[in-house]
Structure 1
Amino acid sequence: MRPRIVVFIPAHNEEKSIRDCLAGLGDQELPTGVELDIFVIADNCTDRTEERALDAGDEFRLNLYVLKTKNNKQRKVGALNHAWKNIYGDHLDIYFKELTPYQKIYKQSIKGILGMDADSRLAPHGLIYMWEGLMSARNIGGVMAKYTMRMPKKKSSLSKDDVHYEEKLASGEYGGPITRWWTHQQKQDMASWLLDLQYHGGSTYVLGGQATLFRPEALQNIVDENKLDGPWQDESDVEDMLLTWQLQKSKWKTLISPKARCFVDAMRNYHTFRQQRNKWQSGTVGLLTNSDIGVKTKHTGKIWRSQIKAFINLIIRALFLTLLVVSIATDQFKWSWIWITPIIIASILNTILAMKTPMNRPVDVIMAALLISPEIYLWVNLITFIHVWLDRFSATKKDGWANQYNAESGKTSSRIVQGILMAIIIIMVGLGFCVYYQDYLTSQVVQLATQPYITIGWTLLTYLTIFATLHMMYQIWTLRAKHTA
């Protein structure tokens, strides 16, 4: 039997996206003498995912099989492990039987396992690039493609006379200016992360589930060492990160391919983005702080530094706004031109990142240079940061997967409008208060009482800003490398 790569694609009601995913696999160039088998796991589907997958398999001449789960309560993790057990056997089955001679030969023929999401598409040559990376050394456990968010087509390009107008809009393939802007922010964020990892050697602390080629021996190693029925676990909302940490603990390398690219869908609005990032951030914090899981990574220090960086960004902005309001209200505000330095550095950094982001648009580069887009995006992430750490100290555990799925399926809605209205009301009340009590707030008594605290606050803010500015200068220095996102 020839050596082969098998693909696991968990698909829960993915009838709209599964064909595009399989079309990408049909475009792939295979290593010489290697075959490709594709397993689509129709996970608790209530739509035509199975039918569409089989049709696409025939259309693109793929060796495709559809597996179906029954009463799977572990979502993506359960679907992936279902495919794994279909090949490697289910040790939890009370009727477990040894593999047949054919099954044993088939298992031995598998040299790579490609995990993919049903709404992602591998770019041409992506598979061969990941294969070359995986085969470059025996201690490489997994190689991940570089992810790029797909930009929605312009909604204005659709004719309202098109009989499929509403259907095309609902598909998510088209979007308005806000959706396209929001997609670019996620794409630039991903590009920044990929560039940073490549500058530091290409080792990654998470092999993303959208497109990663694993060494079967490494996955089997995780199963045996941890007495599991499959490599993936649902103990964390970030099952791909947990698996990556376990691979690193077992001395397997986890790398990013410098050439392979995978196009993935972005979160199209604020609400779905927040729920996705809540799940990611919550899962990351859980792995960092939960000693019961008992697995760490060599990147632990790097991840903690990113958490500290987010905290410093939050303190800088909260402290600046507080000091600005108090200083103006008490007539003690004094402008210093030195403050323009971190703004210029931030503008340069974000401009470079925008230009290094694949398929960027001129408007995105301009918005990055003006710091409008980066600041809005940062505030959204800071809100998530606060939310996750507050939840970490609460007694109730939230289901990140369920929250994200409910948001994407439209079962829940955002409260951003109420939040903006509340912020406007608070600002208006604060302005009214300052105007009404202006004489008292600017009196010598109030100024003498607040002046020491304002001085201490601006001093602390100065040191924090210097630290943040030096970090931005370091990032600019790293971007001089000829890595691509």
Structure 2
Amino acid sequence: MEENSTSLQELNHSAFTRIPRVKNTYMKPRIVAFIPAHNEEKSIRDCLAGLGDQSLPKDVELDVIVVADNCTDRTEEIALDAAEEFNLRLTVLTTINNKQRKVGALNTAWKSIYGDPLDLYDKKRTVYEEYYMNSIKAILGMDADSRLAPGALAQLWEGLMSSRNIGGVMAKYTMRMPKKKSLISKSDPHYEEKIATGEYGSLITRWWTHQQKQDMASWLLNLQYSGGSTYVLGGQATLFRPEALQDVIDENKLDGPWQDESDVEDMLLTWQIQKKWKTLISPTARCYVDAMKSYHTFRQQRNKWQSGTVELLTNGNIGVRSKHRGKIWLEQAKSLTNLVIRVLFIVMLVLSLATDQFSYSWIWLTPVILASILNIILAMKTPMHRPIDIILAGLLISPELYLWANLITFTNVWLGKLSANKKDGWANQYSAERGQTKSKLVEGLAVVVLLAGVVVYLCIDQRVFLTSEKVQVAVQPYLQSGWVVLTYLTIISSIAMIYQIWKLRGRHKA
């Protein structure tokens, strides 16, 4: 059941009457922002402040629809106060018992303007509603915890209107770095309140945020070096052409553009749009977004993203394919290669040391040096980087730890494909962000340390047996084959890194 806190007809009539002496024939072209907000009282004001900062294209107006989705806090009240503060034309729609979460909230905003195909009554639009609907030239989909940089909306508009066949343009996302916790005095009476806002973080939180920021920068650079076409129009900030969204509805017989059939609803929508339209990333428009501030919330978010991507790639019943499908499969293959190289190297290293057959080769330094150069370049191209970030990138400490976190997710998701029970990615992420579930990182590290200790103990205790000629002769063929496989995989990985370093010589910015 859905209820509107402000009548859309009143909003349309109000917008119409703001244009002096209109002869009931047209309205000024406008952008309408859809902002789904589930208990976002801490972030909605900042999001709307960003919209208030925007310089609109000449003769283009902006309307904002905030969807207070199953809220139990002051999201609606704060949004209305912020609209008055920042001089925004805003209405709040409220949902009750919306089971489709963000998808349902976005479709609520869409239906408030374009109607609901499932409505049993054929409601004729008023003249104001017709004028208003026809005046909408772009729809901005935003998250309530995102903030557009000044000028970003005009840049997105310029990209969308540069060609008739462009269906959506996405902003470049940059994670906001938390402020240092040490900036707040522990004697400050508002200490706990300030910490609860999420604006401050510990040393580990700030380091973890930068890794996500650099990962996002690497992805954005790759898209730009490949011509700017993207296989996902991120929900944090994307400007859509309404006709493209309507095509998705008509072709798939939907009641709204967004679907909850996938954990990555923005990727599914993008693939559907790509059947007839181009989907691009803006080279200049920037949007600041929040990172996952803990390993646990990060894992749940990446599990949702990765499982949704794998589902789109492997589920033929979804009925949509992206022209970027080969590129996405290549990324999956790259993750698998990275996983195999590391696991195989650890196994071969332990086995060769245990049987006293280890032989060092200087050529092993080649991929290490290439990885160091690549990560230094990526760190330098990441917006608002710090000297320590470049140093840690060059030493491969940060990239390797972050890579292992992603490889664990990769392995977990693909193993999950063998399971008959499908997990709810959205529910798991929400639970993690609310602190309702806990990370098993400490337990996992304890198991790894315990296993490593057992292996070391056995290698020392059984050294005479393991280094005997009989064991060495039996193990030697496996070692030889393993090192050959590892060599070929390392060569392939090194060539890929050389190619990426070559591409990064360009002047694109993340």
TM-score normalised over the length of structure 2: 0.94
Q: Distance in 2 between matches of 1:229 and 1:316?
A: 47
Mapping of residues 16-415 of structure 1, within 5 Å? 16-249=42-275, 251-415=276-440
Deviations 1:350-387 (A, max 9, x none): 00000000000000000000000000000000000000
Task: Indicate the SS of the match to 2:316.
Answer: coil
Q: Which amino acid aligns with 1:310?
A: S
Task: Indicate the SS of the match to 2:476.
Answer: helix
Q: Distance in 1 between matches of 2:119 and 2:353?
A: 70
Q: Distance in 1 between matches of 2:417 and 2:382?
A: 33
Deviation at 1:96, TM superposition (A): 4.2
Deviations 1:14-56 (A, max 9, x none): 0000000000000000010011000000000000000000000
Task: Indicate the SS of the match to 2:478.
Answer: helix
Task: Indicate the SS of the match to 1:292.
Answer: helix
Task: Indicate the SS of the match to 2:123.
Answer: coil
> Partner residue of 2:444?
419
Deviation at 1:95, TM superposition (A): 3.0
Contact in 2 for aligned 1:89/1:96 (Cα 8 Å): no
Deviations 1:268-316 (A, max 9, x none): 0000000000000000000000000010011000000000000000000
Deviation at 1:70, TM superposition (A): 1.4
Over the residues paired in the alignment, what is the CA RMSD in angstroms?
Answer: 0.6
Contact in 2 for aligned 1:141/1:252 (Cα 8 Å): yes
Deviations 1:419-455 (A, max 9, x none): 0111111111111111111100000000000001000
Task: Indicate the SS of the match to 2:318.
Answer: coil
The answer on 1:438 being equivalent to 2:456 is no
Task: Indicate the SS of the match to 1:397.
Answer: coil
Q: Which amino acid aligns with 2:145?
A: D
- Listed as ranges, the gaps of 5+ residues in structure 1 are none
- What number of residue pairs does the alignment pair up? 484
Q: Which amino acid aligns with 1:233?
A: Q
- Listed as ranges, the gaps of 5+ residues in structure 2 are 1-26
Q: Which amino acid aligns with 1:268?
A: K
Query: Identical aligned pairs, as a percentage?
Result: 72
The answer on 1:461 being equivalent to 2:486 is yes
Q: Distance in 1 between matches of 2:417 and 2:165?
A: 35
Deviation at 1:170, TM superposition (A): 1.3
Contact in 2 for aligned 1:204/1:254 (Cα 8 Å): yes
Q: Distance in 2 between matches of 1:205 and 1:15?
A: 32
Deviations 1:162-221 (A, max 9, x none): 111001111110001100000000000000000001001000000000000000111111
Deviation at 1:99, TM superposition (A): 1.7
Q: Distance in 1 between matches of 2:80 and 2:102?
A: 20
Q: Distance in 1 between matches of 2:129 and 2:115?
A: 9
Q: Which amino acid aligns with 2:227?
A: G
Task: Determine which of 497, 502, 510 is the counterpart of 1:472.
Answer: 497
Q: Distance in 2 between matches of 1:307 and 1:300?
A: 11
Q: Distance in 2 between matches of 1:326 and 1:210?
A: 47
Q: Distance in 1 between matches of 2:488 and 2:317?
A: 37
Deviation at 1:91, TM superposition (A): 1.4
